[in-house]
């Protein structure tokens, strides 16, 4: 049992939770790598085992391991044959590197609005955004909400546009019985140091399309793998993949417990899409948990100082992503419509980082109590 934690002023604080988790399964992997030398070799059994395990887990045909989630998105764009002058549609609220990846291929990002209050692309914005140059759509599951990937895919398929499903924040999530990352034409995963499956760095591209897979292999294989994931990285990912279903469920249970206890007038209101939970056979994954922040009447806090205050109590809250249209010159992208929902997310969104979501119930109760008593 944890002893109660306090901040410098003796106030209640939650126990800090460190990441990554070095449990016995990870210790065993390191011990085995030391004895068999696989930690330092180009080739060994681990990458192949990981490829097979990821293919089984996601029920996909092809898994290409690579050096990061960012490079996985780049490879997906290359597989979609995105070339200079082409256009790629993404939500105006999305991971910054996705925008940069489109630019790096000489293509133009076309930014569309999100659903109201949710960090996911609004599919009804797509028809106005399509042009004869549209090659791909990047569709990201973010902060505990699933993207509306089926609606996006049905609009894209009619036009031969490739749907890239960014599941970097959603490893282990299930949407209507399908693993996140397996639903779009191509899915991407990240194994970065903060992610739900972590190896410090690393990523993967998933697809059932043999041609897309072949293009990625041709691009990365230059007699040597130009975007490699190492044996050492693969080895530490394997046990985490086995633990992932259990941890995904525990995080969801704790999110539900936390949200039930937040005061109705809390400055934080959950910004997650409840509809997958009503669908059945769906389990959202929480790399971040999103909230809309509203300043309480008479409060001394704004969004940033509210997060700072709670971080002193070991509660990892941060302002979320900036809107891509708010931080890039308008010369870099195109829009078809206004972006009022993404503007609000830019101004109000806060995220809670995931390690605390594996804590025990008492810590979650304390987390809710400290949030309720602040602001
Ligand atoms: C982390 C992340 C990435 C990129 O992953 P890296 O492995 O850090 O390059 C891409 N998309 C989203 C939504 C992410 O959260």
Question: pLDDT, tens digit, for every residue of 54-106?
Answer: 999 999 999 999 999 999 999 999 999 999 999 999 999 999 999 999 999 99
pLDDT of 8 reads: 65
pLDDT of amino acid 82:
98
* End-to-end CA separation in angstroms for the chain: 29
Confidence of residue 192 (pLDDT cuts 50, 70, 90): very high
pLDDT score at 16? 84
* Pocket-testing residue among 97, 121, 165, ligand 1, by greatest number of atoms within 8 A of Cβ: 97
Tell me the pLDDT tens digit for each residue of 274-293.
888 777 799 999 999 999 99
Ordered by start, the domain boundaries in the chain are 9-19+244-373, 24-240
201-227 tens-digit pLDDT: 999 999 999 999 999 999 999 999 999
In sequence order, the β-bridge partners of residue 6 are 12
Query: Residue 245: CB partners within 8 Å, gap ≥ 6?
Result: 172
pLDDT number for residue 1: 42
Average pLDDT over residues 300-312: 96
**What fold does the segment set 24-240 form as a domain?**
3.40.640
For ligand 1, what atom is nearest to the CA of residue 70? 9
Q: How far apart are CA 355 and CA 370, in angstroms?
A: 17
- 76 contact partners, CB below 8 Å, separation of at least 6: 136, 162, 164, 186, 188, 205, 212, 216
pTM over 0.85: yes
- Rg of the chain over Cα atoms, rounded to whole angstroms, equals 21
Band of the pLDDT at 2, cuts 50, 70, 90? very low
Tokens matching residue 190: 């990240």
Name the token pair of 303. Answer: 């969004």
Query: Could you give the CA distance from residue 303 to residue 267 in angstroms, rounded to a whole number?
Result: 9
Domain 9-19+244-373, CATH number (from 3.40.50.300, 3.90.1150.10, 3.40.50.10320, 3.30.2290.10): 3.90.1150.10
Query: Does the pLDDT value for residue 297 go beyond 90?
Result: no
**283 three-class SS:** strand
Q: Whole-number mean pLDDT of the chain?
A: 95
Measured distance CA(99)–CA(340) in Å, rounded:
19
- Give pLDDT, residue 13: 84
Which atom of ligand 1 is found nearest the CA of 287?
15
Ligand 1 mean position, distance from CA 72 (Å): 9
Question: Of 147, 166, 287, 351, which is best to mutate to test ligand 1, by the most ligand atoms within 8 angstroms of its C-beta?
Answer: 166
Identify any residues that bridge with 112 across adjacent strands, giving them in sequence order.
91
User: Which stretches of the chain are DSSP H helices?
Assistant: 24-36, 45-58, 69-79, 96-104, 126-129, 149-157, 210-220, 231-261, 275-279, 303-311, 324-327, 340-348, 361-372
Task: Quote the pLDDT of residue 364.
Answer: 97
Please tell me which residue, 8 or 232, carries the higher pLDDT value: 232
Q: What is the pLDDT of residue 259?
A: 96
**CA atoms of 287 and 27, how far apart (whole Å):** 24
Among 54, 53, 58, residue whose Cα is nearest residue 182 = 58
Burial class (CB in 10 A: 0-12, 13-18, 19+), 43: exposed
Q: Residues 125, 131, 132, CA angle at the centre, nearest 5°?
A: 155
Q: Which letter does DSSP use for residue 76 in this model? A: H
């Amino acid at each position: 049992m944890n002893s109660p934690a306090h901040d410098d002023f003796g106030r209640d604080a939650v126990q800090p939770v460190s990441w990554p988790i070095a449990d016995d399964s990870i210790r065993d992997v390191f011990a085995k790598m030391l004895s068999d030398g696989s930690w330092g070799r180009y080739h060994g059994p681990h990458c192949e085992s990981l490829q097979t395990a990821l293919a089984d887990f996601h029920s996909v045909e092809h898994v290409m391991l690579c050096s990061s989630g960012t490079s996985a998105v780049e490879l997906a764009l290359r597989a979609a044959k995105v070339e200079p002058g082409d256009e790629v549609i993404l939500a105006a609220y999305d991971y910054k590197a996705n925008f940069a990846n489109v630019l790096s291929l000489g293509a133009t990002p076309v930014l569309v609005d999100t659903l109201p209050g949710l960090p996911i692309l609004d599919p009804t914005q797509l028809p106005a955004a399509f042009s004869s140059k549209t090659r791909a759509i990047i569709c990201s599951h973010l902060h505990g909400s699933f993207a509306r990937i089926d609606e996006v895919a049905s609009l894209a398929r009619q036009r031969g546009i490739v749907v890239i499903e960014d599941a970097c924040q959603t490893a282990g999530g299930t949407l209507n019985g399908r693993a996140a990352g397996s639903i779009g034409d191509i899915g991407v995963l990240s194994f970065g140091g903060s992610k739900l499956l972590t190896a410090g760095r690393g990523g993967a591209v998933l697809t059932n399309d043999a041609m897309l897979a072949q293009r990625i292999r041709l691009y990365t294989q230059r007699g040597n793998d130009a975007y490699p994931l190492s044996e050492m990285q693969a080895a530490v990912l394997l046990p985490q993949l086995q633990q992932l279903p259990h941890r995904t469920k525990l995080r969801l249970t704790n999110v539900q417990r936390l949200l039930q206890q937040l005061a109705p007038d809390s400055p934080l209101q959950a910004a997650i899409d409840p509809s997958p939970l009503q669908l059945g056979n769906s389990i959202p994954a929480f790399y971040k948990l999103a909230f809309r922040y509203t300043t309480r009447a008479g409060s001394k806090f704004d969004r940033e100082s509210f997060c700072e205050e709670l971080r002193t109590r070991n509660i990892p809250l941060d302002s979320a992503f900036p809107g891509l249209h708010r931080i890039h010159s308008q010369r870099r992208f195109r829009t078809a419509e206004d972006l009022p929902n993404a503007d609000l997310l830019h101004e109000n969104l806060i995220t809670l980082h995931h390690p605390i979501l594996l804590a025990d119930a008492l810590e979650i109760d304390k987390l809710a109590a400290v949030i309720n008593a602040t602001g």
